[in-house]
Amino acid sequence: MTHALIVIDVQNDFCPGGALAVPEGDEIVAPINAMMDDFDAVILTQDWHPAGHLSFASSHAGKNPYDMAEMPYGPQVLWPDHCVQGTKGAAFHPDLRSDGDLIIRKGFRSDIDSYSAFFENDQTTPTGLEGYLNTRGLRKLTMVGLATDFCVHFSAVDAARLGFDVAVRMDMCRAIDLDGSSAAAQTAMRDAGVTLT
């Protein structure tokens, strides 16, 4: 048992009609479901913010969604309110198989965002995923999900930095693409040793 599928943030708010919709985000659901049985383990991640999260533009007077703000841990995109704990928007897409081995919830601390499945945006606070994968001997990872240029990108780069063998299935990801963020993310992932297929 060595190969895990990491399904990143396939949630209602990141799909068409959601608060932070990724174009065509729902188109990857059926192909992801179809590939799940090909892996030794399936881990799903879930953005899980408390109301009033510091990464929400609504938490900053005079700021709009997609503005930048400086946080104690570095620059932060300010997002529309999304994936608020317990809401329909935070739930997995209704057609996604959610019978995986583990669900990792991230971004649940009110004062720090978390793009990566491995670390919060301070790059030091772990989610626990690394320990789980190591304990189960899962060293090869394939990543799919939303969005390519944020949570998939940061998860893949962190996994490679931690010594995992990482591939991203680009056909099963979709990007937000803020000011060229998609191309930049692909370059960063390749530079980190991630295989893009």
C-alpha distances out from residue 145 to 26, 136, 148, Å: 10, 22, 7
Tokens of 133: 């994968």
| Whether the Cβ atoms of residue 126 and residue 118 lie closer than 8 Å to each other | yes
Residue with tokens 């953005």: 47
Looking at the annotation, which residues are catalytic?
Answer: 9, 106, 151
- Residue 160, SS3 per DSSP: helix
Cα–Cα nearest to 36, from 2, 7, 1, 9: 7
